[in-house]
Structures are given as C-alpha cells and as structure tokens.
Structure 1
Amino acid sequence: MAPTIHDVARLAGTSKSTVSRYLNGQQVKKATQEALEKAIKELNFHRNANARRLVLDRTNIIAVVVDNISNIFYSGIIRGIETVANMKGYNCIFLSWTSNYEDEISFLNMLYEGQVDGVILVSFQKRTREDLVLIRDSDYPIALIGDHGEMNDIFSVDVDNAAGVYEIVEYLHGLGHRDIAYISGPDHAAANKYRFKGYLQAMETLGMNYHPEWVVQSDWSNQGGYQAMQKLLQAKGFTAVVASNDETAIGALRATQEHGINVPKQMSIVGFDDITISEWVYPSLTTVRQPFQDIGMKAAHGLFQKIEDNENAEPDNHYLLKPRLIIRDSCGKL
C-alpha cells in the first residue's frame, strides 16, 4: 500500500490537517516543516493528484496548444505563459496539433472532459469562422493568441501588426524615402492582412503614392524574399522595401546585393519580427520586435481570471500589444 497523509502525520508527530495545510502551500512552524519533509522523504510519499482533484474540482493544469511546436516564435510566448502559471501554482502541458490532431479545436475535448482547467490556443494561422463561433459560445476557460476573426467578444491577444508596419513606413518617410515597395506574406498567415493594412494606411496618411507593381507576395521564407526582390528590381523606381517578415527581408537583401546595389546607401530594407539572425546579417537588419513574452503573460492572466471566475475579470475582447522598432544598419537617409 502506498503511504498516506495519515502515515506522514504519524511519523512526523503532527495532525492530518497540518499535513494537508503544508501540502497545499500554507505556512506551518519551521520545526513542523522540517519534520514533515523528513517524513515525506522517508516514506517516499506522493500526494494523490486524482483525489485532490475530486476535492478541489481542479486539476491545476492548463493546456497550451500550438500549431507547430518547432516554431521559434512560440518560445517567448511559452515563457510568458509559464511565468504566470507558476505564480498561480499551475502546471502547463504543451501540445502541437500538427502532430496529434487534425485541428486545434479538437483539443478542447480535454477541457470538456475535465483533464485540464483551461486552454490557451496559440496560432498565427487564420482560424475558421466555425471554430471561432464554437470558442465564443463556450462557457469554459479559453484564451486565444493570434487570429480572432475580428470577433471582439472572444478573449484573444495578438501583436498590433498594422501599427508595426505603419511605424516602419513612418521611419522610412522620416529618412526622406517617398517611393516604398512592399513584400507581403502568405494568405494563410493571419498577420499578413494586418501588416499590409498598416503599409497602405501609412502610405495614404503620409501622402505617398501607392504603386501596385511595387507590391509582391512571398511565402515568408529566405528563398521567397529573394525571388520577390528579383521581381521588384525589374519594376524599379523605389528607394526602400518593407519586407513583412525578417526571413523575407534577408532574402531580399541578398538579391539586392547580387544586383550590385548597396544597402543602405542606394536601397533601404526593413523586416518584421527581429529574429536572432537579423542582427548578424550584413548590414544588420532594421526590423520590428514583437513582445512575445508579454503576449503570453497577457493571455495567461486572462485565462486564470476565467478559471477563478473573478468578478473583476477582463471582458472578452481582443487585445493588441504594440511592437517596437529596432533601428540597425539597413536603412539610410536620402
């Protein structure tokens, strides 16, 4: 038979209720704590998590579901979620739906079956209207990171992609650039729409002409950026390029250099994301840094307010966190 809290109490010379208080993180006298720790170690005692769950009606576990666990951008988000979860005394389980289920919505069954107390769904891909309606109408604790389908009655957190690109164009305008091209991303990426929106808004607000032939699509890879820049260079006439992510910008930088164009003296190039390599390419890439850890923390705080059924919980809404312009060496004045 596995040892019980009765056995721990008897060996430590204290009461069962004192053992229970200690195991639930409450303060006990130092001498009592030392006796309990000694008894727990000697008996090799492990609390019965299932029994505790039945008493508290909680698992003290949240699930974090990502579309691809290998995506480097999720590491900062995960750190933010873990920081808040640890403060709340919760454990996290991390699940990648590309290797387990057909879609992220399937993981909500873990919540409905009582295996976890809440779920954070993390994806930079577009979500279907049907899935978003299911999430919106659910009474269970769910938080979204990424696409919310512009449904503001869902608790969701994302970076303000439009504001990030707007700031880039504004910065280039301040350097004297008036002819600015743009490399967009894939349609399946939710951020692509908003980054392009920021470009268009800035061009209009700052009184610069929009040229459709200066807008080329990429798949957000180095190769895609390289090919997009090759196409843009045939159009000519622009002095700066806003690439909608850093990998694309790095590919565009290489294509520009192969054409004998000096960056930043003859051409300015800007990225988005601030991946590690952007600081190490030559010239180092001006870009926009996303607040990934803050996004994770904001989503986790919102989820725990739902779990705790706090009367002061934030309303279900979409929260956009502002990115930060990182100025390096790939842009020059005209």
Structure 2
Amino acid sequence: MNPTIHDVARLSKTSKSTVSRYLNGQPVKKRTEETLKAAIKELGYHPNVNARRLVKNSTQTIGVVVDDISNNFYSGILRGIEKVANLHNYQCVYYNGVSHRQGEFGFLNLAHERQVDGLILISFLKRSPELFEKIKDLSMPVALIGDGGEGIRDHGLLSVDVNNEHGIKEIVHYLNRIGHKEIAFIAGPDEFSATSQRITGYKKALKELGLTLQPSWIVPSDWSKEGGYKAMSELINKGGMTAVIASNDETAIGALLCTHELGFRVPKHFSIAGFDDIEVSSWVYPPLTTVKQPLYQIGIEATEGLVKKMKNKEAPLQGRRLIEPNLVVRDSCMNLL
C-alpha cells in the first residue's frame, strides 16, 4: 500500500496536523521541516492530490490557453507564467487554442467544470465583446494576455500586453533623431489588435515631430517574410522615403531581402527597423534595429494578477496593463546627420 500522512507523522514523531500544515505550505519549525522532509523521502510519500482538492476546494492548477503552443514567440511569456506559478505552488496545464474550433470560447468550460482555479488566455488576435461578456460572467479569475483595448475597462477584466503604440513611437523618434524625415510604414494584418495600435503610434509620432504623413507610404502585410518582401517592393516603386518601419521583425527581414535582391543596400539606400526583437533579428545582415517585447514580464504580471485574485476574490482587479518595450539599436539604420 502507498504510505499515508499517518505513516509520515509516525516516522517523523510529529502529529498528523503538523504534517498537513507542512504539506499545505504553512510554516513549521526548521527542525520539524527537516524531519518531515527526511520521512517523506524515506517513505516515498506522495500527497493524494484528489483528496487535497476535495478538502481545499482547489485544484492548485492554472489553465493556460495559447493561440498556437508550437509558436516559439510565446516561450518568453510561458517562462514568466511558470516562474510565478511555481512561487505560489500552482501547476500549469497548457491547452492549444488552434486545436479547438471555437478558440478561446471553447476553453471556458474549464472554468464551468472547475478543472482549474484560474485561466490565462493568450492571444494577440482581436477579441469580441461577446467573449468579454462570457469571461466576465465566469465564477473564477481570468487574466488576458494580448490587449483587449480600451473597452477592457468596461468589462472589469485584467489584461496585460506590450505598449504597441509607444514602441512604434520610439522607433519613429529615433529615426528622426538620426536625420530621417521621410519614413514609411509596413502595417500588419487587420485581425490582430496590435496592428491598429502600431499604426496609431506611427501617425502620432509623425504629428509630434511635425513630419508629413504620406498615406500611400502605409502598406499592409501579413506579418510574414514574404509579406515584407512584397510590401518593400511596393514602397521602393513609390520611392521618396529614406527609412521603413516594419511592424514586426519577420516583415522587416523580408524587406531586407527585397532591398538586397533589387540591388539596394541597407542602410546606405534604405534604413529598415522592425518590432519584436525575435532571436534571428540580431543574426541577419545587417543586424536589425527593432523594439524588444517584454514577453517574460508580460507573463509574470498576468500571473501575479491572477494569483492575487485566486487567493483573495475580493482583491481589486488591475484592469488594463501595458508594459513599455525597449528600443534595440543595431546596424540597419543610417545616421544622416
């Protein structure tokens, strides 16, 4: 038979209640803790998770729903989530959003069935008001990673994301400081919330600097290398700009390739900047100036907010939290001064 809490108490010469306090993370004397650890190791004791769930009415589990769990882009966020979850003795169970035809909607039953104590939904796609309403009606805490926009405040939910608008403004201001006044922009897909925020940042920065907005210099892409190549080719045909900001690094890498294949050099003929600071951005030629997303910090802050709410349901929600990105200057932009 498997050893029980009574066996641990008997071998360690302590009471069952002391063992229980220790197993539930409550403080015990240092000498008692060492004795209990030794007894647990000798017996090969493992807590009965299901029994503890019944007693505490808790699974000690956080459900994490990811758009596409195979995408390395999310690794920093997941490390941040794990860091905080481990500190508070929670386990994480991961679910792949793309495998469910209803996306995030399809995983809300995890809350209804009480399979987890809290949910973290990771998606950078635009979320519908209907989803916000369904999340608001749940009886358990939920944290959203991927900005819900200003409307998130109306639903009383916690969301964490990078400050996309600020990140693009930082790039525009940097380019202007090194002499660029004609700056084009490669936008992203409409279905992502960051796309409109990054376009807004671009337009606001031009206005702040007194630079002329050329609507034809804003071209769309699908955030792929191929999309960046096509968009850059279009901009080169239009001409007139000295710098191009691509709204993600994949697109910027496609733009770099396009300029090289058409006989231009970066940054001699065009300065190119990206957004995200994915690993390969420092390995392309020339190394890409970009904005680093604070993905690890996003994971930490979302999980800290969630855990706080799980431990104290009366705790106030943090609402919409935008974390500032960092400009990373490399060699893809030329100083014109």
Partner of 1:293: 296
Q: Does 1:111 align with 2:102?
A: no
Greater shift in the superposed pair: 296-305 or 2-11: 2-11
Q: TM-score, normalised by structure 1?
A: 0.94
| Pairwise CA distance, 1:273 | 0.3
Match for 1:330 among 329, 332, 337?
A: 332
Match for 1:200 among 200, 203, 214?
A: 203
Alignment of 1:1-334 (within 5 A): 1-29=1-29, 32-100=32-100, 102-151=102-151, 152=153, 153-309=156-312, 311=314, 313-334=315-336
SS state of the match for residue 241, structure 2?
A: coil
Distance of aligned partners of 1:94 and 1:34 in 2 relative to their CA distance in 1, 3 Å threshold:
same
- State how far apart, in whole Å, the 2-side matches of 1:28 and 1:198 are: 53
- State how far apart, in whole Å, the 2-side matches of 1:40 and 1:80 are: 30
Greater shift in the superposed pair: 172-181 or 13-22: 13-22
Distance of aligned partners of 1:155 and 1:26 in 2 relative to their CA distance in 1, 3 Å threshold:
closer
1:147-205 CA distance string (max 9 Å, x none): 31432132101101011001111111111111111111111111111001111111122
**Native 8 Å contact 2:118 2:140 kept in 1:** yes
Q: Cα RMSD between the aligned structures?
A: 1.8
1:179 maps to amino acid: E
Q: Percent identity?
A: 56
| Pairwise CA distance, 1:30 | 5.5
1:199-225 CA distance string (max 9 Å, x none): 111112211111122111111111110
Greater shift in the superposed pair: 10-19 or 140-149: 10-19
| Pairwise CA distance, 1:100 | 4.0
**Native 8 Å contact 2:112 2:138 kept in 1:** no
- State how far apart, in whole Å, the 2-side matches of 1:8 and 1:29 are: 16
SS state of the match for residue 241, structure 1?
A: strand
2:245 maps to amino acid: V
**Native 8 Å contact 1:129 1:149 kept in 2:** no
**Native 8 Å contact 1:302 1:314 kept in 2:** no
1:60-94 CA distance string (max 9 Å, x none): 11111111001222111111111111111111111
Greater shift in the superposed pair: 245-254 or 130-139: 130-139
- State how far apart, in whole Å, the 1-side matches of 2:295 and 2:58 are: 28
- State how far apart, in whole Å, the 2-side matches of 1:29 and 1:155 are: 38
Greater shift in the superposed pair: 27-36 or 151-160: 27-36
Distance of aligned partners of 1:241 and 1:140 in 2 relative to their CA distance in 1, 3 Å threshold:
same
Q: TM-score, normalised by structure 2?
A: 0.93
1:133-153 CA distance string (max 9 Å, x none): 212343420010103143213
- State how far apart, in whole Å, the 2-side matches of 1:29 and 1:212 are: 69
**Native 8 Å contact 1:269 1:285 kept in 2:** yes
Distance of aligned partners of 1:176 and 1:29 in 2 relative to their CA distance in 1, 3 Å threshold:
closer
- State how far apart, in whole Å, the 1-side matches of 2:99 and 2:14 are: 49
Structure 2 unaligned runs (5+)? none
2:326 maps to amino acid: R
| Pairwise CA distance, 1:7 | 2.4
| Pairwise CA distance, 1:233 | 0.9
Structure 1 unaligned runs (5+)? none
- State how far apart, in whole Å, the 2-side matches of 1:111 and 1:310 are: 15
| Pairwise CA distance, 1:104 | 1.0
| Pairwise CA distance, 1:35 | 4.5
1:105-138 CA distance string (max 9 Å, x none): 2212112222111001010111122111212343
2:6 maps to amino acid: H
- State how far apart, in whole Å, the 2-side matches of 1:298 and 1:285 are: 28
- State how far apart, in whole Å, the 2-side matches of 1:126 and 1:33 are: 49
**Native 8 Å contact 1:181 1:238 kept in 2:** yes
- State how far apart, in whole Å, the 1-side matches of 2:232 and 2:122 are: 31
Aligned length: 333
